[in-house]
Amino acid sequence: MSAAPTRPRPPQTLLGRLAGMDLFSVYLSGFIILYGLVSIGLEHGVGIVGFAKTPYLNAGAYAYSLGFFMLALLFDKVRLTVLVPHPLAIAMLVAGFVSAVVGFSNGNATPYIGAWSLYIVTGVLMFQLFRHARHGNGEVARTIDSLYSLPFLALMLVFAFLSVFNKDNHYQYVLFEVIALYGVLMRRSLIEKAISAIIYLCIHLGSNEGFVQIEINRASILAIGATGLIFMLYRRYLVTLFFVIFAAIGGLLYALSLDDATVELLPRNVKEAILLMKGDDIYNHVSSYQRVYEGQKVMEDYEQASDAEWLFGKGLGRTVDMAGSVDRTVGQHALLGVNEVHNIHFLHYAVFHKFGLAGLTLLALIVACVVLWFVVDLANGRLDRGRMFLYFYLVYNLVFAMPASNFLLANPLWPAFLGLLATSRLRDGKVAPETALQPALTWNPQSGRTFS
C-alpha cells in the first residue's frame, strides 16, 4: 500500500508563530520591547534622561521579570522543581538576607534595601525558572532563531537607529551588543550578518555633541576582546589568536607613541585611556577619577568596621557621601540626594561594600564556575552555536560590569542566561556534526591535511 499523501502545512499566522516560541525567546523578546518603549516614553513623554532614567528602567525590568515568572507558573511552562532552590540560589538568598539584616541594623536607606532585596530575589527566580523550564523551553537554538528572525532584527534596528539621535540608548546595551556580535560572527545568513553589522554600527554612533560620531567606552573594548577570545577558542583559531594578541600589543604601543594633538582627535574614552597610560594625572579625567573616588569612600566607610562587617559587609542600602565628588551628575541623579549615593561603579567595591568578603567570595565562585564550564565544554567538544550565544552574553556582561557594576548586580537577564546554560549542560548530548570543528591551522596525521 502506498502511503497517504501528506497535506501541506498551512502558513502560520503571527499568533501561531508567537505560540511556537520557546520560553526564553518570549522572555527576551518581551524584555527588549518593554525596555525600548519605556525608555522612549521616559525621554520623549516625561523628559527624564540620563542616570535619572535608570531607577524607572530597573523597576520596569524587574516588574516584567516577576510577572513573567508568575505567568510561567500559571501556564505550566516550568516544572514544580523550580520551587526547590539550587545551592547557588540558596547562597544568594542567604547573602541577601544577611545583608538586609545588617542594613536595617546599621540604619541604611530603606528604599535601597527594598530595591536590592527585589534584585536578589528576582535574580534567583529567573535563574530557577530557566533551570527548570519544561522540555522544549530550554532549547537555545530555538531562542536564537526567534531573535534573528527578520521582523525582530528589524525591530532591534529601529531601537538602535533611534538611539543614535536621542539622548539615551533605548535598549539594554550589553544585550544588543552581544546580539550584534553574535550575528556577525556566528550566523550563516548574509542578511542576518548585514543587519547585525548595521545594528552594531548604530550602537557605537552617537550625537550627544551635536553631530554624529563614533562612541565607544573602555569597558566595551575589554568586553569585546574577551568575547573575541572565547570565539577564537571555540573556532580553534589558535594561530590566529596568537597574531591577534601580537597585533593588539603592537597597536597599544603605537597608540602610546601618538602625540597629544592626534590623541585629542580620538573618541573621548579611548583618548582618556591613552592619556592615563602615558602618565597623565587621573584627576584630570572625571569619569576615571570618579570610580577611584568611590573606592576611596567605600574604604573610608570601613575604617571603624567590626569583624562581622568586614565579613558580611555594610549591608543593603548602604550609601556614600558624594558631596566632594568632581562628577556632579552622580549626586544630581541620586534618588536620596548627593549625601546618600548608593551606586558604586567598580564591581569589587560595590559587592564588598554591601556583602563584605563573603560576597566577594561568592562572586569569585560564580565567575570561576562560568570559566570552568566553558573550559570543560571546550575540551569535551560540547560547545555548539546555541551554547556559545549564552557564553557570549555571560562573559561580555561580566567583563563590562567590572567598571560598571549595575550591569551585573541590577540585571535580571544575567541570572536567566546562567540558568539556561545550566539546564543546557544538564541535557547535554553530542553536538551536531557541523559544530565539531577541527583545530585551525593544525596538521591531521591521518589525512595529511592542514585545516585553516
- Encode the chain (452 residues) as per-residue pLDDT tens digits: 445 554 444 444 444 455 557 889 889 999 999 999 999 999 888 888 877 788 889 999 999 999 999 999 888 888 888 888 889 999 999 999 999 999 999 999 999 999 999 999 999 999 999 988 876 544 677 778 888 988 899 999 999 998 888 878 888 999 999 999 999 999 989 999 999 999 999 998 876 655 677 777 888 888 999 999 999 999 887 777 777 776 777 776 666 677 666 766 676 667 777 776 766 666 666 777 788 888 899 999 999 889 999 999 999 999 888 887 777 777 666 777 778 888 898 999 999 999 999 999 999 999 999 999 999 999 998 888 889 999 999 999 999 999 999 999 999 999 999 999 998 888 764 444 344 333 333 344 444 443 33
Report which of 118, 97, 188, 203 is spatially closest to residue 156, judged by C-alpha positions: 203
Residue 443 pairs with which residues in a beta bridge? 450
Task: Kindly compute the dihedral angle of the four CA atoms of residues 96, 374, 371, 345, in this order, to the nearest 10 degrees.
Answer: -70
User: Is residue 54 one of the residues assigned to a domain?
Assistant: yes
How much is the pLDDT for 325? Answer: 78
303 plus 390 within the same structural domain: yes
Give the other-Cβ count within 10 Å of 422's Cβ. 20
- Cell numbers 562581622 correspond to 308
Residue 187 to residues 12, 197, 321, 388, 437, Cα–Cα distance (Å): 24, 11, 48, 11, 16
* pTM, to two decimals: 0.85
How much is the pLDDT for 46? Answer: 86
Separation between Cα atoms, residue 153 and residue 135, nearest integer Å: 26
329 plus 418 within the same structural domain: yes
User: Is residue 65 one of the residues assigned to a domain?
Assistant: yes
Per the structure, the count of domains in the chain is 2
340 plus 272 within the same structural domain: yes
271 plus 357 within the same structural domain: yes
312 plus 437 within the same structural domain: yes
User: Is residue 324 one of the residues assigned to a domain?
Assistant: yes
Separation between Cα atoms, residue 58 and residue 60, nearest integer Å: 5
User: Is residue 165 one of the residues assigned to a domain?
Assistant: yes
What range defines the domain where residue 321 resides? 217-452
434 plus 316 within the same structural domain: yes
Beta strand residue intervals within 212-299, DSSP E: 213-214
400 plus 292 within the same structural domain: yes
276 plus 206 within the same structural domain: no
How much is the pLDDT for 279? Answer: 66
413 plus 448 within the same structural domain: yes
How much is the pLDDT for 437? Answer: 39
User: Is residue 426 one of the residues assigned to a domain?
Assistant: yes
180 plus 223 within the same structural domain: no
149 plus 268 within the same structural domain: no
Give the other-Cβ count within 10 Å of 309's Cβ. 18
User: Is residue 189 one of the residues assigned to a domain?
Assistant: yes
User: Is residue 88 one of the residues assigned to a domain?
Assistant: no
Last residue of a domain, one of 190, 214, 238: 214
Residue 341 pairs with which residues in a beta bridge? 320
Instruction: Give the DSSP H/E element, type plus range, for residue 205.
Output: strand 205-206
User: Is residue 113 one of the residues assigned to a domain?
Assistant: no
Most distant CA pair in the chain: distance in Å?
88
183 plus 243 within the same structural domain: no
Last residue of a domain, one of 149, 183, 214: 214
Q: 70: which 3 cell numbers?
A: 508568575
Separation between Cα atoms, residue 312 and residue 102, nearest integer Å: 8
Please name the residue ranges forming H helices in 165-204: 173-186, 190-203
Last residue of a domain, one of 191, 214, 237: 214
Question: At 440, phi and psi to the nearest 5?
Answer: -80, 140
Give the other-Cβ count within 10 Å of 256's Cβ. 13
How much is the pLDDT for 439? Answer: 35
